[in-house]
């Protein structure tokens, strides 16, 4: 649903229970009629709903209704407050190897008690030259700051969008736990790097990191 505008999300939620006319939507949402008309036309263009009967009513596609109801049920039992949408991209030299990695990651995500998965889609595998690639598109909530750090480090998403909240406060202890976890991860990574790179390679590596971070 993140591709929808805020008005379109409100329209979709009203249509969950039953089809409605544009007049009913206008009254219940208090959206100016001209703006409502534009949003309805766009939702029809996207193929997420259809028109039926007389007077004309708008109905959400059944699979979208099912998905929204599933997410609503998940949200009722979900106490995690940080909700994100992420893309995890993967590549491999063999298609079977890529499929194995995709399965391993999706299974791992589903087993994490510090995550609540709202939606997860695995894209079709495509061949690009001598490589095979795919990506995982998922929406999830994370328990706290430390869980967010763990997700970013261990799953390496190429993009992350914060869906909610618009503002957030961490207690000192929660923020401290997250920073300690992050410092530990970096220290392990630094130790591994020191053992596996010579001095010249390490200097080049650090220069790249610093340049990409600050310039």
| Mean pLDDT (whole number) for 81-89 | 95
What are the residues whose beta carbons fall under 8 Å from the beta carbon of 95, sequence distance 6 or more? 125, 127, 132
Q: What is the pLDDT of residue 215?
A: 38
User: Is 87 within 8 Å of 159 (Cβ atoms)?
Assistant: yes
Query: For the segment 115-156, what is each residue's pLDDT rounded down to a tens digit?
Result: 999 999 999 999 988 899 999 999 999 999 889 988 998 898
Other residues' Cβ atoms within 10 Å of the Cβ of residue 35: 13
Provide CATH code, domain 78-168: 3.30.70
DSSP letter string over 179-191? HHHHHHHHHHHHH
Residues 192, 198, 203: CA angle, nearest 5 degrees: 90
Q: Please give the mean pLDDT across all residues of the chain.
A: 86
pLDDT reading at 16 higher than 50: yes
Task: Write out the two tokens for 145.
Answer: 């700051």
**Site of tokens 């200097």:** 203
Q: What percent of the chain has pLDDT over 70?
A: 87
Evaluate if residue 210 carries a pLDDT over 80: no
In angstroms and rounded to an integer, the radius of gyration of the C-alpha atoms of the chain is 22
- Average pLDDT on 98-115 reads 92
Confidence of residue 194 (pLDDT cuts 50, 70, 90): low
Rounded to the nearest 10 degrees, what angle do helices 22-29 and 6-14 cross at? Answer: 110
| Predicted TM-score of the model (pTM) | 0.69
Domain locations along the chain: 6-64, 78-168, 169-215
| Cα separation, 20 vs 29, whole angstroms | 12
Decide which of 140 and 199 is more confident: 140
Residue 184 contacts residue 149 (beta carbons within 8 Å): no
Give residue-wise pLDDT tens across range 38-67.
Answer: 999 999 998 999 999 899 999 999 998 888
* pLDDT beyond 70 at 202: no
**Fold for the domain defined by 6-64:** Arc Repressor Mutant, subunit A (1.10.10)
Rounded Cα distance, 80 and 93, in Å: 37
CB atoms within 10 A of CB 133: 15
């Amino acid at each position: 649903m993140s591709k929808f505008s805020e008005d379109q999300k409100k329209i979709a939620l009203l249509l969950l229970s039953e089809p409605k006319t544009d007049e009913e939507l206008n009254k219940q949402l208090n959206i100016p009629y001209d703006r409502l008309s534009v949003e309805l036309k766009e939702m029809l263009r996207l193929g997420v709903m259809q028109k039926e009967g007389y007077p004309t009513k708008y109905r959400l596609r059944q699979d979208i209704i099912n998905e929204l109801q599933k997410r609503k049920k998940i949200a009722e039992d979900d106490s995690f407050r940080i909700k994100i949408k992420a893309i995890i991209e993967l590549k491999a030299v063999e298609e079977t190897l890529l499929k194995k990695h995709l399965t391993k990651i999706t299974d791992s995500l589903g087993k994490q008690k510090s995550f609540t998965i709202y939606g997860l889609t695995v894209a079709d595998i495509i061949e690009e030259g001598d490589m095979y690639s795919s990506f995982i598109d998922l929406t999830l909530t994370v328990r706290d700051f430390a869980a967010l750090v763990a997700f970013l480090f261990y799953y390496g998403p190429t993009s992350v969008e914060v869906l909610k909240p618009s503002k957030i406060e961490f207690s000192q202890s929660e923020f401290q736990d997250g920073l300690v976890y992050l410092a530990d991860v970096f220290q392990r990574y630094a130790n591994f790097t020191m053992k596996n790179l010579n001095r010249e390679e390490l200097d080049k590596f650090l220069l790249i990191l610093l340049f990409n971070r600050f310039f």
